[in-house]
Homo-oligomer: A and B are copies of this chain.
């Protein structure tokens, strides 16, 4: 689950240097050499961080940055500007366009890494607790969406809650009674057979082609989520 860094830079030597170093750090890296293409790629790939040259062919880094910062969908992506001259004015302009940091060439790779780490740290934690993964299952509590192998799955409210509950303690076996208390609620009384039915529905829903069944039945004990 490494972060994805996008490089918008037209000098090939710099790109390869950056790429080499960033990949060594464990980041997924992609890049583009011209502004227009960069913007397109950024919008489709939604990287976790962008390194952007101040000057770019077609569309300047400044323009791209402004464009991104306007759009709610992308304005959370941190941008580090790479600027050639260390001039005061440029630095300020960089921040004005919405850049989150800037680095002047020539830059120290170590320092750049540190700045990248710092920015990523800031943007990550918000989403972490609300999105839970277990093997190839992913559930997003904010958007109420569930994915299996990155394919979206539609679940009814109860099935969603059921899965959400299971995923909190994978591999643990829950009795029907425990499930009723935790998923349905303490004071709601329904037949315990009902659990079976919803288990079945959940199974059907998350069962994408030739994947192992994820829900194990433990005879006379209950069910559990398995890998």
Determine whether A176 belongs to the interface, using a CB cutoff of 8 Å to chain B: no
A95 closest partner in B (C-beta): B114
67-98 of chain A: CB within 8 A of chain B: 70-73, 75, 88, 91-92, 95-96
Interface of A, helix, strand, loop or mixed by DSSP: mixed
Determine whether A122 belongs to the interface, using a CB cutoff of 8 Å to chain B: yes
In the complex, which residues of chain B have a beta carbon less than 8 angstroms from the beta carbon of A133?
70-72
- Are B132 and A221 touching (Cβ within 8 A)? no
A143 closest partner in B (C-beta): B171
Interface residues on A, range: 35 or more
Determine whether A185 belongs to the interface, using a CB cutoff of 8 Å to chain B: no
A127 closest partner in B (C-beta): B75
User: A95, A135, A156, A168: which has the most chain B beta carbons within 10 Å?
Assistant: A95
- Are A100 and B118 touching (Cβ within 8 A)? yes
In the complex, which residues of chain B have a beta carbon less than 8 angstroms from the beta carbon of A72?
132-134, 167-168, 170
Determine whether A110 belongs to the interface, using a CB cutoff of 8 Å to chain B: yes
Determine whether A144 belongs to the interface, using a CB cutoff of 8 Å to chain B: yes
Assuming A144-B173, A144-B218, A144-B221, is B73 touching A95 (CB within 8 A)?
no
